[in-house]
Amino acid sequence: MKVAFFSTKSYDITSFEKHSNDAHEFIFYESSLNTKTAKLTQDCDAVCAFVNDHLHERTIKLLAKYGVKLIAMRCAGFNNVDIKAAQAANIKVVRVPAYSPMAVAEHASALILTLNRKTHKAYNRVREGNFSLERLTGFDLYEKTVGVVGTGKIGQYFIKIMKGYGCNVIAYDLYPSDAVKALGVSYVSMDELLEKSDIISLHCPLTEDTHHLIGKEAFSKMKKGAMLINTSRGALIDTVEAVEALKNKTLEYFGIDVYEQEEKLFFRDLSENIIMDDVISRLISFPNVLITSHQGFLTHEALDKIAEVTIKNLTDFENGIKSDNEVIID
């Protein structure tokens, strides 16, 4: 199969070429997939896309026109794909439902530890010869209440990490897991989770129902001085309201690896540019905010798994084998 890859970086090329075994012909493009770049898929059987590619109805119609029969997402999420439009165009959509839940869960815990113990600030101080401990005081994670929203594979591994620190973990999910209950975790309502949690970590998908799940109303119910962590999808949080929550000190700590408007910022070097996004510029100005640019998935193990599963998805499609990783909406 001839496959056009979009939004690719050096680590994508390295991992896919490592696992390809010349089974398919790969063409790598750094540009994102949208209506303007869809023409690059001419004579391709499939496209391989990522989280910020625009696979809306117009793009999908163009892909169908150029002969594309498969959209292979090299990630778990597919909120940026119009699945109904793809089905109407007879284009199948596959994804990588689980590549390394440990990678994302561990990154969430790293955000918590860094924000709490201010190791990023200590690192910069020491490099400048400043060995003062002033304003570096944190808190014990032990016996703090951690609220986990979404208890899929990533959420479950995150829960195990937090239980290892001796935290009291509560959870919210529309579909409670017996495996999570077996870990001694209680499922509660969203309101109760907001009211009781010292730390809230989001591990749920982005859907119409979860868009701005944490907004003005949620912040008003949140425990004063809480920490909020998001390693899932940026639009789970109304970022403008998060700024207000930081200003009124409802939020004492805010750590994000995803951002609602990240597609114009993340995965590129803008160090010599003026950042035109006023909201993220405001967030960066807060001393109690930590932002990483969607790197939670970025481990050697996760990249290997993404490549392996994506290539298997391509091969299964080519061989007419029905894949468990196909996304279907009734």
Res 38: pLDDT: 96
What is the percent of the chain with per-residue pLDDT over 70, rounded to a whole number?
Answer: 100
**Domains and their CATH numbers in the chain:** 2-99+300-318 (3.40.50.720), 101-291 (3.40.50.720)
User: What pLDDT is stored for residue 22 in this prediction?
Assistant: 84
The residue that leads in pLDDT, 77 or 40, is: 40
pLDDT the model gives residue 21: 81
Percent of the chain exceeding pLDDT 90 equals: 93
Confidence of residue 168 (pLDDT cuts 50, 70, 90): very high
CA–CA separation, 91 vs 112, rounded Å? 41
Mean of pLDDT over the chain? 95
Position of tokens 């579909």? Answer: 175
pLDDT of residue 100: 87
Say which range, 35-44, 75-84, 304-313, has the weakest mean pLDDT.
Answer: 75-84
Question: Quick one: pLDDT band at residue 330, thresholds 50, 70, 90?
Answer: confident
> If you average pLDDT over residues 185-213, what whole number do you get?
96
- pLDDT tier at 264 (50, 70, 90 boundaries)? confident
> Is residue 272 predicted with pLDDT exceeding 80?
yes
Residue 309 CB partners (closer than 8 Å, separation 6+): 96, 99, 325
Q: Read off the pLDDT of residues 18-64 as tens digits, 9 standing for 90 and up.
A: 998 888 999 999 999 999 999 999 999 999 999 889 999 999 999 99
Look at residue 245 and tell me whether its pLDDT is greater than 80.
Answer: yes
Q: Indicate the SS3 state at residue 118.
A: coil
Per-residue model confidence as pLDDT tens digits over 89-103: 999 999 998 888 999
pLDDT the model gives residue 55: 96
Specify burial of residue 324 (Cβ count, 10 A radius: 0-12, 13-18, 19+). exposed
Average of per-residue pLDDT across 132-145: 97
State the Cα–Cα distance between residues 205 and 229, nearest whole angstrom. 14
The residues annotated with a catalytic role in the active site are 233, 262, 294
- 78 to each of 92, 205, 325, how far by Cα in Å? 13, 9, 12
Q: How far, in Å, CA of 211 to CA of 205, rounded? A: 9
H or E stretch at 228: strand 226-230
- Cβ atoms of 141 and 167 within 8 Å: the answer is yes
pLDDT of residue 189: 98
Residue-wise DSSP of 173-191 = -SS--HHHHTTTPEE--HH
**What's the confidence (pLDDT) of residue 163?**
98
